[in-house]
Structure 1
Amino acid sequence: MTCDVCETISDIYSAGFEEWDEEILGEASTVLNSNCPHAESLCRAANFDRPITDFPNELLAIKKEGKQTGVRLGLAHLTPEDEIIFDNVSTTYMDLVSPKGSVDHPGQGILPDPKWIDLDIIRGWFSVCKNSHQSQCSEPPWLKGVEPADPEWFIDVVDECIVSPPGRGVDYVALSYTWGLGRNLKNTKATLSELKQPGALRVPKFANQLPETIRNTIDIVRLLGERYLWVDALCIIQDDPASLGRNLNQMQLIYANSTFCIMAATGCGAEFGLRGLKGLSPERDLEMRIYDLADGNRLIAKPLSQDPTAGTKYSYHQRGWTFQEWLFSRRRLVFNHGPLMWQCQCARWQETAKINPEADAQWSRMHRTKESALDPSPSIWNFMSMASTFNTKALTMQEDAPKAFAGIQAMLHRVHPGGLLYGLSEFFFDISLAWASLYSNIQRRRGSNAANALQDGLPSWSWLGWEGDVNFPKDAEFQVMQPWNYHEQKVGFREPVTEWFTMATPGSTSRRKVRSEWYKYKTSFTANTSTEIPHGWKRQDYNRQHHPHDFYPPGGEPKDIFSHELSPQHGFKYPLPVLNWADTPSLTDQTQYLWCETSRAHLVSSKTTILRVEDYERRVRFVEGNSTILSITMPDMASVEEMMDDKRPSTLELVAFARGWSTWLGYDVERAYNEGSTGKMRIPGMDPRDCYFVLWVERREGVSYRLASGEVLASWWEGNTDKQLAQVLLG
């Protein structure tokens, strides 16, 4: 049976990957009033805001966008020039199914067995990746030259026991999963010797404690022809602090060096298992939306992209521990609620679609988040989105936040001179302290043991001590502002006003100086144009016309602009050292207390008018006379409401950590929309005022705790600080 509508749909799939194509199928009522299978299929496939039957007189069209294999339905109209204009487009992308054994068919879709996974598909993916992608996946730029991981134990999937690595650099598979609340066999000092015996994992004593996800992973790794498997519960001695510490600090390398990583992203714990392995696990229930056409052709709905923010707080993509495991795995075999998926540095494949090199190249270009975050370049702010994403993930034990971030932090030591202290760059430490929660609510993390609050590893001065989405300041004294920064509020850090020391406990006599060096480089290259610049940097005269969206206070135009060979598209106002990525860094001791001597002031809130900041619901400003003397970002909306009513504190204790300027303290500028227009538009971020960057703190038993951060008008600060410097202990 032939059908013009079905033929038009099938023909559009002949367009090349880069090409756009659009075709009219006919008036909706006519297309759907047919005995052809397409009528029922298109009714189901058309996902508009209302049923397609509500649009009987509209033209039903189909479109293929450039750099896509799938097509979508749409409601459209024709212009007098016969141009197709889409008024509404369905959310469902559809691939044309390629019949088995067909060579020249334009379809890219595949119909897998809905119950059982074909292991040959996995073998094929792995083979293509190894042979075609080669070093791009075996040694991507962010891993090039980095020393291999040194795991202490593996699971031998053939002998079913725990073994020492047979040598450095041996191939192994890793498992990323959520523990959940069910049974979970753990390797301890007491069980290690027994678990080393061949067949130990089949002995009832241990087999009965082994959750299904680990059991299934052992079996599938063996069937895929691999010998060794790394699983945290069994390959780390769970009651040995030294073993835990060593492995947490190399967790990123353990996952990065695995041949591939199995991501158990279904269920809410290790009991769920890897469904769909015939003879090993229960069948899966793979839901596929299939649409029949004439002549036996079929369409299949493309699975929705895996949304890392979907699901409950117990699901795989919501967990803090699995975040870094996903991030650092070079190759991922993903068991999720949809089709089986393979992700590597070069491609993303699903069992419902053929391998398409053009689509692979497009996907690879669009998914370079890890490379940008870990790029050994001077743009150290690149890791901010990674930190913020991690901080929205769920942890069963809140005090685990620094541990779950340890692997990421260890890798970031390769980017940040001096390393990181609880997630803050030591090189830019004074600037890093100005992190805030401008766009969402955050709340303080609380350790599970209240009696150990002084040693819970959750300092208030670090974003790791809080839960939620955070942001870091873009320093206009360091980076050239981009067009998207033009209408934002802006800050510039000119100099630190204190030196910071870190220590393990409030009473420690041993203190280590925090290695904040940005100011040394800033003054060296802005005050002396003859200073030799570090390797890889290029200096040129600053030309305002080349940077029309940059910002600086009146009289603050820089003389020079610097760029680095690793990111020549970015401009900087002073250079800084760029580390050799392959060097093995010394990890910074993580001590949760800070100490300094600095200026302090107490602001009496009743003497000011407190106002909200337009467009920023968590920002409040304190006005005295005609001047904003303090602007701070509150942690959440509840604290904003308290500040605006009678519950606000009578006095705010403020301590300074840097000096500079901020447009948060200035006025928005009003300008005409265009020449001759009477309408005005408000432009924020154009009125900088000299300021001190401060923390609002509260003191309890001699320790100060951060409540918020912000800026104080310099003239007010200099007239209202305590006569003597305050010794501040931050916890």
Structure 2
Amino acid sequence: MASAKPDSGLEPGYNGSDAAIDLPKPVEPCSICQRLVDFLRSSCTREEPNADSDLDSDSDTRSACVLVIWSAIQQNDGCPTCQKVVKTLSDLGASDSCTEDAHIRVTQPWDGHFTIKLCRDCQDEDKDIVLSLSTLGDNTPWAGYFSGVLVDASWVDIGRIEQWLAQCNSLHKGVCSDIPGITGIKLPDILYLVDVEDQCITVAEEIPSYIALSYVWAHASNQCELTKENLAFMTQPGSLTSDHMRPRISGTIRAAMRLCQLIAVRFLWIDRLYIIQNDFLRKAEHIDAIGGIYFHSYLTLAVADSDHSSSGLRGIKDVTKPRHLFQNVYTFHASPHSVTAFMIYKQPPTAYDDRGWTFQEQMLARRVLKFTDFGMHWICQSCDRREQRVDWKSSLSGFNFGDRNLKYLYTLWPDVKLWDNLLQNYLKRDLTYEDDILRAFTGITKILSGSFPGGFHFGLPELFFDAALLWRPANSLERRTSDTGVALPSWSWCGWKGKIRSGINAFGTEHIRSDPIIKGERGRQIIMFPWKFQWKKTTVDQRKITDVYNLWHLFRDDVPPPRRFDPAKPLPPGWSLKQPAQGNAYFTHHAALNYSFYYPLPTTCDRGDLPRETWGPVLRFVTIQVFLHIGKPLCFLDEEEEDEDDGSDRFGMFSLVDSENKWVGVLHVNIEPTDSSRILGESCELIQLSSALTYIDEANDLELLREYLPELASDVAENIPTGELYEFVNVMWIERKEDIAYRKGIGRVLPKIFQGDENGRCGTIVLLG
């Protein structure tokens, strides 16, 4: 890291000294603290450490050095800083069980922070305890993006919020105020907002600058809500401060209204005061439009410092109760090379972070101001600000919220891995009302639909529909109920409560030749072949039927090599053909510069605009059925070595056997392994979904392959035909109730099960609900 530059690197308008208060008084360092300072100085300025400092290092002095043995710093009673470090490390788990060679190391500073590590046992790095420190100040050689500022422990700095807004408004035009290309995210026809000046509800005739409130609901019976009966009264100036209404407005909402006034934003959106709760004809429409509310907001105010709606937004002076922000400060040296730092705490998940609706609210918002127990947090499309950090310009060059902001959502090619990552993160959260499982994700799928021809059907991308159907349980699942007129289908993830594993990375990404994560060309992995009959979706009354747009294989099967690489052949929008002098030809897309592809994918729907219909949960499918028996649970030889996450890949796996009790496949079911005795030997009806093959050779990533196909690492692997080719058929275990079939599990069987069918069952129509 270079020494301090003439350009401070700070955002215009920010003065670090404005926020830095109560700095500890300079102290004379002890020999241990002096070693730390000398090491930091030599690392940053490329100077050699002072010989008089007795720097004891057994490694490169610019990466890490040994400060002192653990027993010596424990006995260093004369230095308050050393004793503070000892106490902190002890609180983090240090104990007298350290080995004799236990010692403390310090790492080279990087971008304004460094770590102090207690190596308790040199033979076991898992026992190391790490203390991460953020240096205070912006004028030292080790200053950087992670440099910290001391803030008021009780009250937030409203001026800091105003600076963040002003900086974003002036520096991020066309990025945070507008996301080019994103369409279809609309506001409702009627938008009710709180006018914080007139203290009433107003109907927005145009789209004004408004703040959207994102918070955790409290289930209080007397909370103020908008109804048909009180609408006229609520739109009268002063209604929200009336003796009747004021006690019914939660503390968080009142604080949000006051904060709007402090930062000069007149209008506030609040869900309770936006939806007319007893207008059942329009209530669902307004709930579905909530994603657009956050997308079009001037700022989203996220309340993550409370687990209910009554006590959030702490620390607004003269408005709410004081907060209790703790900064544990360590002063190792006085000027001119002051090293004052505070501990970086990892914020645990809060009730806000676990709520299903808040995932979409933060993803769709252009700018978020988040109140947390660890200070204010600003997130926009260009940068990530923390109240306890210095605002450095370097963050504008890409240090932002990464895969958790709106800009990340917008892509011009059908990135099915992106959809899968978003879904997996979303399913970790909780919902108060089960019916919201799709609604709380709709805003995200609306944006993704711009690059996924056909859009999404009950949460599954139609373009990759048969691949998306191959999700499997990762723990015990329970059917999700619904109080609305449209049931949630058993064939989709939205129809179940519990943790799932998507099959997309295994079955839906074989078009990807290389990506930023996997270096070089990918192995052949799993190649999938759709069933010859088309999935069809139906309206709720089943009077209208149309094909599911399951055409991911269009450019692979219909245009095989070498005609696929014909330069004269037209390509879908955005795609280009690359023909290197050496090696095979491949494709690229201008919106995925770090990827290469074996074949392009359609990016627009060629069926024209279909009329808007209310599609029901029932799928029609012509397929083949077969009956097999459930055998014993699979046994994995390395089961004891697997961690919990890896083990979930193998949840509820059973063998499938034929009438002669011979192994023919595997089945993933949604019951606990302890309940397996009740299904052993049970006859199960299976329907064919698709077929696939993979190569078991060195060209493939065998470890990854065993994750996708766990049977390859189980006690039944010997039953899989020898040789490098493993072929199988993807099947679904169904249970029939009257005329509708429902999913009970997913599996894979050997192709011979569906060959030579003597019973003429090909062409069976299945209505899957």
Question: TM-score, normalized by length of structure 2?
Answer: 0.78
> What amino acid is aligned across from residue 415 of structure 2 in structure 1?
S
After TM superposition, give the deviation of residue 325 of structure 1 in Å.
0.5
1:494 to 505, 508, 529: 529
Distance 2:735 2:127 in 1: 54
Q: CA deviation at 1:693?
A: 2.0
2:491 to 461, 471, 474: 461
CA contact 2:472–2:745 (8 Å) conserved in 1: yes
> RMSD value over aligned CA atoms?
3.9
In structure 2, how many angstroms separate the alpha carbons of the residues matched to 1:214 and 1:471? 39
Q: CA 1:219–1:424 in 2, change beyond 3 Å: closer, same or farther?
A: same
The residue type paired with residue 622 of structure 2 is E
Matched, 1:521 2:564: no
Query: Where does residue 727 of structure 1 map in the other structure?
Result: 765
Shift of 1:216: 0.9
Deviation at 1:235, TM superposition (A): 1.6
CA distance in 1, matches of 2:274, 2:576: 47
Q: Secondary structure at the match of 1:40?
A: helix
Matched, 1:532 2:562: no
Q: What whole-Å deviation, never above 9, does each CA across 1:510-540 have from its counterpart, x for those lacking one?
A: 3333222234333332264354222322235
2:352 paired residue among 316, 319, 327: 316
> C-alpha displacement at 1:649, in angstroms?
5.7
Deviation at 1:156, TM superposition (A): 0.9
| Cα displacement (A) at 1:118 | 1.6
Output one character per residue of 1:47-103: Cα deviation in whole Å (capped at 9) or x when no partner.
66423895676443322353x4222112469x9xxxxx99975432112333xxx86
Q: Secondary structure at the match of 1:41?
A: helix
Inter-CA distance 204–351: structure 2 relative to 1 (3 Å threshold): same
Partner of 1:41: 84
- In 2: Cα distance, 1:448 partner to 1:424 partner: 18
Letter of the structure 2 residue corresponding to residue 535 of structure 1: P
Question: Contact 1:109–1:299 at 8 Å: present in 2 too?
Answer: no
Aligned to 1:595: 620
2:328 is aligned with what amino acid? R
Is this contact kept in 2: 1:377–1:567, CA < 8 A?
yes
Residue 196 in structure 1 maps to residue 235 in structure 2: yes
Opposite residue 457 of structure 1, the aligned amino acid is: A
Cα distance between partner residues in 2 of 1:707 and 1:369: 36
Asked if the contact 1:430–1:657 (Cα under 8 Å) also holds between the matched residues in 2, the reply is yes
**CA shift digits 1:377-417 (9 cap, x unpaired):** 23323210101111221111212211212212222211210
| Corresponding residue of 1:70 | 113
Amino acid at match of 1:652: C
SS in 2 for 1:333: strand
In the TM superposition, residue 7 of structure 1 has moved relative to its aligned partner by 4.2
Q: 1:647 to 1:536 in 2, by over 3 A?
A: closer
Letter in 1 for 2:634: L
Q: Give SS of 1:237's match.
A: coil
Distance in 1 of aligned mates of 2:266 and 2:204? 11
- In structure 2, distance between residues paired with 1:402 and 1:727: 28
Counterpart of 1:403?
439
Aligned equivalent of 1:282: 321
Residues in 1 aligned to 2:304 and 2:725: alpha-carbon distance in whole angstroms: 48
Shift of residue 174, structure 1, vs aligned partner: 0.8
Q: Which amino acid aligns with 2:496?
A: W
| Aligned twin of 1:2 | 28
Question: Unaligned 5+ residue runs, structure 2?
Answer: 1-26, 47-60, 640-648, 704-712
Post-superposition offset of 1:163: 1.1
What are the within-5 Å matches in structure 2 for residues 634-645 of structure 1? 634-636=669-671, 638=672, 640-643=673-676, 645=677
Give the Cα–Cα distance (whole angstroms) in 2 for the partners of residues 488 and 132 of structure 1.
43
| Distance change in 2, residues 1:113/1:13 (3 Å) | farther
For 1:155 and 1:444, the matched residues in 2 are separated by 40
Of 692-701 and 559-568, the range deviating more from structure 2: 559-568
- After TM superposition, give the deviation of residue 459 of structure 1 in Å: 0.9
Q: Counterpart of 2:105?
A: 61
Moved more, 229-238 or 712-721: 712-721
Q: Is the 8 A contact 1:410 1:587 kept in 2?
A: no
Residue 573 of structure 1, CA deviation: 3.1
The percentage of counterpart residues that share the same residue type is 23
Q: 1:463 to 1:62 in 2, by over 3 A?
A: same
User: Shift of the alpha carbon at 1:319?
Assistant: 1.1
Residue deviations 1:247-272 (CA, integer Å, cap 9, x gap): 34433332122121111112222122
Supply the distance in 1 between the matched residues of 2:125 and 2:73 (Cα, whole angstroms): 17
Contact residue 64 and residue 107 of structure 2 kept, 8 A:
yes
Offset of residue 420 of structure 1: 0.2
1:6-17 superposed matches below 5 A: 6-10=33-37
Q: What amino acid maps onto 1:51 in structure 2?
A: S
**CA 1:585/1:342 → structure 2, altered by over 3 Å: closer, same or farther?**
farther
Q: 2:116 and 2:610 mapped to 1: Cα distance?
A: 54
> How many angstroms does 1:487 deviate by?
11
CA separation of 1:400 and 1:295: change in aligned 2, threshold 3 A: same
After TM superposition, give the deviation of residue 371 of structure 1 in Å.
4.4
Question: Do the aligned partners of residues 73 and 104 (structure 1) sit closer, same or farther apart at CA in structure 2, a change above 3 Å counting?
Answer: closer
Alignment of structure 1 residues 538-577 onto 2, 5 Å: 538-540=576-578, 561-577=586-602
Q: How does 1:207-286 map to 2 (within 5 A)?
A: 207-286=246-325
AA in 2 matched with 1:500: W
Partners of 2:99 and 2:68 in 1: how far apart? 12
> SS at the partner of 1:51?
coil
Q: CA deviation at 1:701?
A: 2.5
Evaluate the alpha carbon distance shift between residue 342 and residue 369 of structure 1 in structure 2; reply closer, same or farther with a 3 A threshold: closer
For the structure 1 residues 702 and 76, does the alpha-carbon distance in structure 2 shift closer, same or farther, using more than 3 Å as the test?
Answer: closer
Q: Do the aligned partners of 2:155 and 2:317 also contact (CA within 8 Å) in 1?
A: yes
Q: Give, in angstroms, the shift of residue 434 of structure 1.
A: 1.5
Q: Structure 1 pair 2/195, CA: closer, same or farther in 2 (3 Å)?
A: same
Q: Identify if the C-alpha distance between structure 1 residues 699 and 430 changes in structure 2 by more than 3 Å, giving closer, same or farther.
A: same
Query: What secondary structure sits across from 1:509 in the alignment?
Result: coil
Q: Distance in 2 between matches of 1:525 and 1:53?
A: 67
Q: Secondary structure at the match of 2:634?
A: strand
Give the secondary-structure state (helix, strand or coil) at the position aligned to 1:723.
coil
1:365 shift after superposition: 7.7
Query: Could you tell me which of 630, 634, 642 is aligned with 1:611?
Result: 634
CA distance 1:721–1:121, change in 2 (3 Å): farther
- Give secondary structure in 2 for the equivalent of 1:632: strand
Q: 1:712 to 1:305 in 2, by over 3 A?
A: same
Residues 613, 620 of structure 1: 8 Å contact kept: no
TM-score, structure 1 normalization: 0.82
How many equivalent residue pairs?
675
Q: Hey, what's the Cα distance between the residues in 1 that align with 2:735 and 2:45? A: 60
State which of 503, 510, 520 in structure 1 corresponds to 2:538.
503
1:91 to 1:208, Cα distance in 2 relative to 1, 3 A:
same
Equivalent pair of 2:628/2:657 in contact (CA under 8 Å): no
Match of 1:715 in 2: 752
Equivalent of residue 174 in structure 2, options 135, 154, 160: 135
Task: Provide closer, same or farther for how the CA distance between residues 435 and 586 of structure 1 changes in structure 2, counting only shifts above 3 A.
Answer: farther
> Following superposition of structure 1 onto structure 2, how do residues 256-405 of structure 1 map, counting pairs within 5 Å?
256-293=295-332, 295=334, 299-306=340-347, 310-311=349-350, 315-358=351-394, 361=397, 363-364=399-400, 367=403, 371-405=407-441
Q: Cα deviation per residue 1:240-297 (whole Å; 9 max; x = unaligned)?
A: 3454344344333321221211111122221223111111111112222233445496
Distance 2:492 2:198 in 1: 46
Letter in 1 for 2:229: A
Are the aligned partners of 1:73 and 1:89 in contact in 2 as well (CA < 8 Å)? no
Q: Which residue, 478, 481, 493 being the options, matches 1:447? A: 481
> Does the 8 A contact of 2:363 with 2:406 survive in 1?
yes
Aligned to 1:82: none
Distance across 1 between alignment mates of 2:632 and 2:201: 66
1:509 and 1:54 map into 2 onto residues whose CA distance is 73
Do 2:464 and 2:552's aligned partners in 1 also have CA atoms closer than 8 Å? yes
- Counterpart CA distance in 2 for 1:52 and 1:299 is 28
Offset of residue 481 of structure 1: 6.8
Structure 2 vs 1, CA of residues 712 and 27 (structure 1 numbering), >3 Å: closer, same or farther?
closer
Q: Does the Cα contact within 8 Å between 1:75 and 1:86 map onto a contact in 2? A: no
